Chain A
Amino acid sequence: MTDHVGVIHKNAVMDSAPPRPLWSVILVRPETMTFLLLILAIFAGGQLSPYFLDVGYILDSFTLTAELSLLALVLTLVIISGEIDLSPASNMALSACLFAYALSFGWPLWIAVLVGMGSGMIMGAINAFLIISLQLPSIIVTIGTLTLFRGLAQVIAGDKSIRLPEWYIGIDKIYVLGLPAPDMIFIIVSSVLALILGMTIWGRQIYQTGTNETSAQYAGIRTRRIKAILFISMGLTASLAAMIYVSRLGSVRYDLGIGGELQMVLMAMLGGTYIFGGRGTILGTFLAALLLSVISTGMTTANLLPATQLCVLGVLLIISIIVTNFIYSRTQR
């Protein structure tokens, strides 16, 4: 950087604050907090119980929340675009019931997969239609479809559980490069989504849609199409998660993953996604999903009461919201 450029630069930004130093740009981010909490949680878990610090065990335990974590990744994109989707857990339950029924009828796997993914996509499309075509608020629409999809699952499956055929059970017992398959899928999907969000024009457009939809539209961004694609992807991911879930569990009931929507939102928030849209990263949600898994595994391994666990999670969420808001208001406006 020559003096000449420095002078111009200085004049141009005369009235605004000086640029932040590089270390601040890199370190003062919500993801840094999530990462530090993760390190802290691993350390605390080791202190709480001598049985916790076992890499194999921690990786195996992550399979218990891998499905919800997968959904949280796509939910992060939806939230960045300025919307919210609370229906994926119910979508997952309904897709899982239909998928399991198809398999239990003895249909070939590819037809069952088509049934599962098709139903997941249709449910995503229903959300997209109501929110984008009818211009209804996404929080209300998806609370409605959350109840509707769960209700349909109960109508279809009743109170009985549907058994999966033996050959389909046990995806979490398959290891790919030393990692349980659900963990591997989570890492692959995270990487792909991180690349899309961080490296492509399409990713920038998601941020712009969430930051200011009107100005994004003036800039020629097709915000409605972006949101529609996101809601449909959410539905598709829910059905993918359903297929992993039922393979791990071996049976399905209508209450599969009940209450999971809150965990997903928690993961996105803990990872520094801004609830009003426009900000957030896949890395943040990735770290937050690991953090939540480590925390609950650590506390369960130490035989801590569930009440204690709930308190810790609640405090964490509030801390993360305060830190996220503080960082965004101080550094990125």
Chain B
Amino acid sequence: MQKTKWLAGIAMGFTLLASSAMAGHDFKVVYIGKNTGNPYFDSITGGFQDACKKIGCQFEFVAPATAEATSQIPFIEAQIQRGVNVIAIAPNSPDAMNQVLDKARAKGILVLSVNGDLVGNEGHRDANILPVDFTKTGPNQVELMGSLIGYKGEIAILSATTEAPDQNTWIAAMKKTLAENPKYKDMKLVATVYGDDQPEKSTTEMEALLSNYPNLVGVIAPTTVGIAAAAQVVKSRGIASKVHVTGLGLPSEMRDFVKDGTVTAFQLWSPYNEGWLASYFADGVLNGTIKNTVGTKFEVPSLGSITIMEKNVMNTQAELTSFDKSNIDKFNF
């Protein structure tokens, strides 16, 4: 018992030391991505890097080889051991990391979920940074699809993995929008398939969609890997005028498809701004200039005023950005 008290005392002493050392801008941030080899995360990482250069913090990016539910746990453990001040993470599972994230928070580490949230387990992170209000993603995508196909015909969804929390939220919202809004009553969702965010599997699934549903007029791929694969299939078959591909894509990967007419329009946000906002938010919270409570407003350079909303969620922009021939050259990520 005596020993436990001693240890607790020492631990508290260290915590005090750590927090006093934190009052500065030279803190350590790590961003744990879903998996390596995903260009989307390069853009978020870019935001972190540039912001940290301005602020003075030290940034590192790590990610496991595969995006399965438990693969990020050893990385979180390692970061706790390394003594980072901020762990930002794009969670691979809404609940498998609860215990280890709690451990990090108990050590005084600020835990932010960036570009995805612990849906239903929000109490296990301090705040969440999302590019847009994700409840609008589903309806926005359905509207874009509708405008491409004249609000009529059979459509399908090509998603990431079956358990990807973001994609599943959006797909649920798409289904709800299609079912409830009379504007879309002539659009019929015939299939939802999963390409696991792998180019090859996504291509195979897209080919299968086209053979199984000859009347298909549109495919929504709410994932950057899926939309690129789907566009490639449509392009090589030369059926761009019949099957419209849209979804969420990276301007850098989709530029050629837009210019040659394979894809008319697609949507996304700026992943770069997520890293940027996360860094400034962390800096503010660690130095006491931003209070991490619902309703707080603060200014972030080049983003303007940001409000902490319910469940400590922040968005970098209000609506999805649509990319087409007219504006795609202005974006470089």
- A: which residues have CB within 8 A of B? 49, 51-52, 54, 57, 60-61, 64, 159, 161, 163, 169-170, 248-251, 253, 255-256, 258, 296-297, 300-301, 303, 305-307, 309-310
Interface string of B150-184 (1 = CB under 8 A from A): 00000000000011000010000000000000000
| Apart from A249-B96, A307-B36: 15 A-B pairs, beta carbons within 8 A | A51-B81, A54-B81, A61-B77, A64-B73, A64-B77, A161-B69, A161-B96, A248-B99, A250-B95, A251-B98, A297-B78, A300-B75, A306-B65, A307-B65, A310-B65
Q: How far is it, in angstroms, between the C-alpha of A49 and the C-alpha of B84 when the chains are bound?
A: 14
Interface string of B58-79 (1 = CB under 8 A from A): 0010111100111001110110
In the complex, which residues 40-98 of chain B have their Cβ closer than 8 Å to any Cβ of chain A? 60, 62-65, 68-70, 73-75, 77-78, 81-83, 93-96, 98
> A163 — which chain B residues lie within 8 A by C-beta?
95
Contact (Cβ within 8 A) B81 A161: no
> A256 — which chain B residues lie within 8 A by C-beta?
69-70
Contact (Cβ within 8 A) A51 B62: no
In the complex, which residues 111-166 of chain B have their Cβ closer than 8 Å to any Cβ of chain A? 162-163
How far in angstroms is the closest Cβ of chain B from A51?
5
Contact (Cβ within 8 A) A253 B69: yes
Q: How far is it, in angstroms, between the C-alpha of A301 and the C-alpha of B99 when the chains are bound?
A: 19
Q: How far is it, in angstroms, between the C-alpha of A163 and the C-alpha of B95 when the chains are bound?
A: 8
Residue of B nearest to A310 (CB): B65
Q: How far is it, in angstroms, between the C-alpha of A307 and the C-alpha of B98 when the chains are bound?
A: 26
Q: How far is it, in angstroms, between the C-alpha of A309 and the C-alpha of B36 when the chains are bound?
A: 13
Given contacts A163-B95, A253-B93, A297-B74, contact A51 B69 (CB under 8 A): no
Contact (Cβ within 8 A) A305 B94: no
Interchain residue pairs with CB less than 8 A apart (6)? A60-B77, A163-B95, A248-B99, A251-B96, A300-B62, A301-B78
> A303 — which chain B residues lie within 8 A by C-beta?
60, 62, 78, 82
Residue of B nearest to A61 (CB): B77
Residue of A nearest to B65 (CB): A306
Contact (Cβ within 8 A) A51 B74: no
Contact (Cβ within 8 A) B96 A49: no
> B73 — which chain A residues lie within 8 A by C-beta?
64
Given contacts A250-B98, A250-B99, contact A258 B68 (CB under 8 A): yes
Q: How far is it, in angstroms, between the C-alpha of A51 and the C-alpha of B80 when the chains are bound?
A: 10
Contact (Cβ within 8 A) B70 A249: yes
Q: How far is it, in angstroms, between the C-alpha of A300 and the C-alpha of B73 when the chains are bound?
A: 11
Contact (Cβ within 8 A) B81 A57: yes
> A301 — which chain B residues lie within 8 A by C-beta?
78, 81-82
Residue of B nearest to A257 (CB): B70
Given contacts A250-B95, A255-B69, contact A306 B81 (CB under 8 A): no
Residue of B nearest to A64 (CB): B74
> A248 — which chain B residues lie within 8 A by C-beta?
99
Contact (Cβ within 8 A) A61 B74: yes
Q: How far is it, in angstroms, between the C-alpha of A253 and the C-alpha of B75 when the chains are bound?
A: 20
> B75 — which chain A residues lie within 8 A by C-beta?
300
> B82 — which chain A residues lie within 8 A by C-beta?
49, 51, 301, 303
Residue of A nearest to B162 (CB): A159
Contact partner, A300, options B78, B93, B95, Cβ 8 Å:
B78
> B62 — which chain A residues lie within 8 A by C-beta?
300, 303
How far in angstroms is the closest Cβ of chain B from A191?
27
How far in angstroms is the closest Cβ of chain B from A243?
16
Q: How far is it, in angstroms, between the C-alpha of A303 and the C-alpha of B79 when the chains are bound?
A: 9
For the complex of A and B, list the 10 residue pairs with the smallest distance between their C-beta atoms, beginning with the closest: A306-B65, A300-B78, A301-B78, A251-B95, A159-B163, A51-B82, A51-B81, A57-B81, A300-B74, A159-B162
Residue of B nearest to A49 (CB): B82
Q: How far is it, in angstroms, between the C-alpha of A70 and the C-alpha of B256 when the chains are bound?
A: 52
> A169 — which chain B residues lie within 8 A by C-beta?
99
Residue of A nearest to B37 (CB): A307
Contact (Cβ within 8 A) B163 A253: yes
Contact (Cβ within 8 A) A306 B96: no
Q: How far is it, in angstroms, between the C-alpha of A255 and the C-alpha of B83 when the chains are bound?
A: 30
Contact partner, A306, options B36, B69, B83, B163, Cβ 8 Å:
B36
How far in angstroms is the closest Cβ of chain A from B81?
5
Contact (Cβ within 8 A) A51 B83: yes
Q: How far is it, in angstroms, between the C-alpha of A251 and the C-alpha of B62 when the chains are bound?
A: 24
> A54 — which chain B residues lie within 8 A by C-beta?
81
Given contacts A64-B73, A255-B68, A306-B65, contact A170 B99 (CB under 8 A): yes
How far in angstroms is the closest Cβ of chain A from B313?
22
Q: How far is it, in angstroms, between the C-alpha of A253 and the C-alpha of B92 when the chains are bound?
A: 12
Q: How far is it, in angstroms, between the C-alpha of A159 and the C-alpha of B83 when the chains are bound?
A: 34
Residue of A nearest to B73 (CB): A64
> A255 — which chain B residues lie within 8 A by C-beta?
68-69, 163
Residue of A nearest to B70 (CB): A249
Task: Name the residue in A54, A57, A251, A297 with the highest tally of chain B Cβ atoms < 10 Å from its Cβ.
Answer: A251
> B81 — which chain A residues lie within 8 A by C-beta?
51-52, 54, 57, 301
> A306 — which chain B residues lie within 8 A by C-beta?
36, 63-65
Residue of A nearest to B94 (CB): A161
Q: How far is it, in angstroms, between the C-alpha of A248 and the C-alpha of B70 when the chains are bound?
A: 11
Contact (Cβ within 8 A) B74 A161: no
> A64 — which chain B residues lie within 8 A by C-beta?
73-74, 77
Contact (Cβ within 8 A) B93 A161: yes
Q: How far is it, in angstroms, between the C-alpha of A256 and the C-alpha of B69 when the chains are bound?
A: 8
Q: How far is it, in angstroms, between the C-alpha of A52 and the C-alpha of B62 when the chains are bound?
A: 17
Q: How far is it, in angstroms, between the C-alpha of A212 and the C-alpha of B168 when the chains are bound?
A: 54
How far in angstroms is the closest Cβ of chain B from A175?
11
Interface string of B221-255 (1 = CB under 8 A from A): 00000000000000000000000000000000000
Task: Name the residue in B63, B64, B163 with the highest tally of chain A Cβ atoms < 10 Å from its Cβ.
Answer: B163
Task: Name the residue in B65, B82, B93 with the highest tally of chain A Cβ atoms < 10 Å from its Cβ.
Answer: B82
